[in-house]
Amino acid sequence: MKRVVGVAVAVLLSLGSVGVAYADGSPSPSVTPTASPPETPTPTATPTPTPKPAVTPAAAWSITLDQPAASWEDKPTVFAGKISQPITGSYITLWQRVPGAWVLRASTRTTAGGVYKFSFVSAYTGTWAFRTMIGVKAETALAISDYRTVPIQDRKILISTPASWYATLTGVSVTGRMVPAEPGKELALQEYLGSGVWRLLNIATMDAGGNFRLRVPDDLPKTRTVRVVTRSVAQSAMEYSGLATIVIKAALNPKVYAVSAAMVPNTYRAGCPVKPSSLRLLQLNYWGFDGRVHRGELILRDAAVAKMITAWTSTFASKFPIRQMRRVDVFGGSDIKSMAADNTSAFNCRRVTGDPYSLSPHSYGWAIDINTVENPYLAANGVWYPSNGLAYRNRSVVRPGMLFSSSAATKALIGQGYFWGAGWAKPDYQHFEPK
């Protein structure tokens, strides 16, 4: 029995401090061995590992597309946006949605800050969807923008329906409206000459509402086929209106107005036999030596207006040429200057040229002188007036503007009770006055 105990003690000593548990579970006090503690080994230095960089995910790419403004066919629509990385030179493409597919429409590269801009011209109207992407294919694109819908409107030039016909020199115009409006844009009026040839007639700009007015040359009777087109654009981008037919007919178109003293400052003065209140301004058309219609004016006695309109209606119909027809006040009231200008005129309160003792029949507003150079006048003093009409003293050589008994003007005025001065002893080939 002792031997067993001795063995146990030896084992305990070899194990070092051992806790013994009592029946109540409390730990037994530690037993410290008397043997010397073993040597503590010298620790070995462990190398410090190099830290590895943190792994971050690749930066996400995105691209924006601003909402473009509504546009119309043949006008550039501007598309702009930005990519998420401020990179210059990234390849950006523009795509349009058509039935069943997205179609590539344009390409560009980003500029500083990653921004981009396209200008695309659509030849078709409607509301279309557009998007942009970084790259050339949706499958490999780094990013695709949201799509934007853009109304491409149908631009039209609408011409107002013209009248059935217009009189010459009445301000004939082609009017209309362009939608949508482009204030300040130039439009051209063209006339069709046949065989695919168009001639420019006039140019005008539209107002803020898109309205326009283009004057048509109306100094000749003519039927014109016209259209209105946009200017300053490529041929492929031009807008054309429908065709319109403008019919211009030659007409006397007489207008009568009251006369004030301010209108006759050089041909009327106090003491004249006819006051301005008894005079009338007659405006009417006449054929010029250039073969075109011009607007003229005569100052007449009020009672002479109807006779003159009748006489000039047939004269105009015959296309008898008149050099010019202006009130003598334009020439300072000078009969000499008026005759030298080959002017056709009526009222002028003055003395007879070449006879300072007689009051001219023109002072009463009835008499009229026609084409004074082609039809000169031999005055009482034996001088022919005007001096630049001397070549027309020879009446055997017929030239335009000369008056003869067979002339339409001569017959018309005689038919209204006028006397022609060519029958006087001193002939006055230009002069007519009431009998």
Domain match, 160 and 225 both: yes
Question: What percentage of the chain carries pLDDT values higher than 90?
Answer: 78
Residue 17 predicted with pLDDT over 70: no
Q: CB–CB of 392/373 below 8 Å?
A: yes
Structurally, how many domains does the chain consist of?
Answer: 3
User: In angstroms, what CA-CA distances link 240 with 36, 53, 124, 214, 226?
Assistant: 117, 68, 15, 15, 11
Any idea of the CA torsion for 293, 296, 301, 304, to the nearest 10 degrees?
A: 0
Domain extent for 88: 63-153
Report the predicted TM-score, pTM, of the whole model to 2 decimal places: 0.71
Q: Report yes or no on 272 lying in a domain.
A: yes
Domain match, 281 and 418 both: yes
Domain match, 274 and 226 both: no
> Looking at residues 389-396, what average pLDDT do you find?
97
Task: pLDDT band for 357, please (50, 70, 90 cuts).
Answer: confident
Domain match, 282 and 301 both: yes
Domain boundary (249, 284, 313) is at: 249
Domain match, 299 and 410 both: yes
pLDDT in tens, 278-297: 999 999 999 999 999 999 99
Instruction: Return the pLDDT at 133.
Output: 97
Domain match, 416 and 276 both: yes
Q: Report yes or no on 334 lying in a domain.
A: yes
Residues 6+ apart with CB under 8 A from 356: none
Q: Determine the distance from the C-alpha atom of residue 387 to the mean position of all C-alpha atoms in its chain, rounded to a whole number.
A: 51
- Three-state DSSP at 428 gives strand
Determine the length of the chain. 435
Domain match, 369 and 282 both: yes
**What's the CATH number where 161 sits?**
2.60.40.10
> Looking at residues 194-206, what average pLDDT do you find?
97
Domain match, 235 and 270 both: no
Q: Report yes or no on 22 lying in a domain.
A: no
Question: What percentage of the chain carries pLDDT values higher than 70?
Answer: 86
Task: pLDDT band for 59, please (50, 70, 90 cuts).
Answer: low
DSSP bridge pairs for 203: 188
Nearest residue to 225 via CA among 187, 188, 251, 199: 199
Q: Which amino acid is at 377?
A: Y
Q: Report yes or no on 425 lying in a domain.
A: yes
Domain match, 300 and 314 both: yes
Instruction: Return the pLDDT at 356.
Output: 79
Residue 34 predicted with pLDDT over 50: no
Q: Report yes or no on 369 lying in a domain.
A: yes
> Looking at residues 159-180, what average pLDDT do you find?
96
**What's the CATH number where 86 sits?**
2.70.50.50
Domain match, 135 and 175 both: no
Domain match, 220 and 363 both: no
Domain match, 299 and 287 both: yes
Cα distance between residue 389 and residue 373, in whole Å: 4
pLDDT in tens, 227-262: 999 998 777 778 899 999 999 999 999 999 999 999
Q: Report yes or no on 13 lying in a domain.
A: no
Cα distance between residue 221 and residue 209, in whole Å: 32
Q: Report yes or no on 27 lying in a domain.
A: no
